[in-house]
Amino acid sequence: MSDGTIDASSLPVAPLQVGEPSSFFNNDWWSPRDWHKLTPDGFGVDIACEAGSIGELAIAGVSLRGHKHRVAGQPNEDSFAIRTTTTHQGEEFVVLVLCDGLSSASHSAYAARRTAALVADLLRKIVVEEQFTNNQLEASLGQCLKEFVAPHLTTWPAPTPEDLPAFGCPDVSPDAIAMKDLLVTLTIALVPTRNGDKGASEVFLATIGDSPAFILTSRGEWIKPSYSDTDDVVLTTATAAFPKTTDAACTRVMLYEGDCLCLTSDGVGNFIKNNIDTLRLGAHFAKVWQTPRDLSTLVRDVSFDLRSADDDRTVILCWTNRAPIELSTTDELATE
């Protein structure tokens, strides 16, 4: 405005509409209907995000508390961790870790936060201190998870009548926690920060559970990496999750210049593809996620409104092309 004041509209930002709307966005979060409750320990994590660049990569992570946990006053059971690291030879990598806590595990929100951080720090240490290849990492990953990550999930100080619980940890003694209380999915990516020969780099992927990973190609196609046929059991939380299982399904994929690596919890990934079919939300993201988005827009993307989508939502996006492009399509989805 001419007088230098800010024209701040009182109208809320509308969520991205996908198909049939849910009832959650019919009310403000402060509505007397109490559909958006605080969590007792203050770790609801309604919105968590992190973004930055390194080498030729632009990386952003966003995690949102799902509607079912907001209504129940329960925390976001997803979490992610991003680390950068450099080998002795000067080769830079970025470590991406995403965890989705199982709803049946009573302390999965803590377990997701702690597991993501521990695994990311472990891989960072491996890259810094050891001579490694992707083959060596695949061979030793399960043992490393078993020896150096799983035991640390229950190492917080036990609360006493004189002491408050440790910050961010369960308010019970570690002795009172069983493995079934800490189950999470685990998805790992180790990405070189610079493209190799012919604009391509080899990315190491590992997973325990069923959180989807994708590559969004420069052509706008979603590719879901394939794992070995023997890994079917590992890729479903019905039979395995970390730390009950430390044997991860591993693979290597080529990431080409212009591609985007996308790690998701199932609150996002389940609405991108269904087997070989790209879903409506996936088609939209394939257009608008070709290059990096500003954080407020990316948070809005992940806040899409769809009646059947009430789970926590987490995504880590790793773009190999940091140059902006002009989109010819609208940023809205019409309601069917």
Specify whether the CB–CB gap between 307 and 262 falls below 8 A.
no
Query: What pTM did the predictor assign?
Result: 0.89
- pLDDT of residue 251 exceeding 80, the answer is yes
- Report the pLDDT value the prediction gives residue 14, as an integer from 0 to 100: 72
- Report the pLDDT value the prediction gives residue 335, as an integer from 0 to 100: 41
Token pair, residue 267, equals 């609150």
320: Cβ contacts below 8 Å, ≥ 6 apart: 56, 57, 195, 201, 255, 256, 257, 258, 259, 260
- Our CA dihedral for 283, 286, 288, 293, rounded to 10 degrees, sits at 140
* Cα atoms found within 13 Å of the Cα of residue 218, Cβ hemisphere only: 14
Q: Is the peptide bond before 243 cis (omega within 30 degrees of 0)?
A: yes
Nearest CA to 227 out of 236, 216, 217 is that of 236
The DSSP annotation for 189-246 comes to: EEEESS--GGGEEEEEEEEESS--EEEE-TTS-EEPPP--GGGTTTT-TTT--BTT--
- pLDDT of residue 49 exceeding 80, the answer is yes
**CA triplet 271, 208, 223: central angle to 5 degrees?**
40
- pLDDT of residue 228 exceeding 70, the answer is no
1: confidence class by pLDDT, cuts 50, 70, 90: very low
- pLDDT of residue 109 exceeding 70, the answer is yes
Q: Which residue has the higher pLDDT, 115 or 25?
A: 115
- pLDDT of residue 9 exceeding 60, the answer is no
Nearest CA to 195 out of 151, 261, 275 is that of 261
- Section 161-166 average pLDDT: 79
Bridge partners, 76 (sequence order)? none
- Section 194-198 average pLDDT: 76
Which architecture does CATH list for 37-155+174-319? 4-Layer Sandwich (3.60)
- Report the pLDDT value the prediction gives residue 135, as an integer from 0 to 100: 87
- Report the pLDDT value the prediction gives residue 231, as an integer from 0 to 100: 46
Token pair, residue 241, equals 């999750």
Q: Rounded distance, CA 218 to CA 198, Å?
A: 15
For 81, the 3-state DSSP assignment is strand
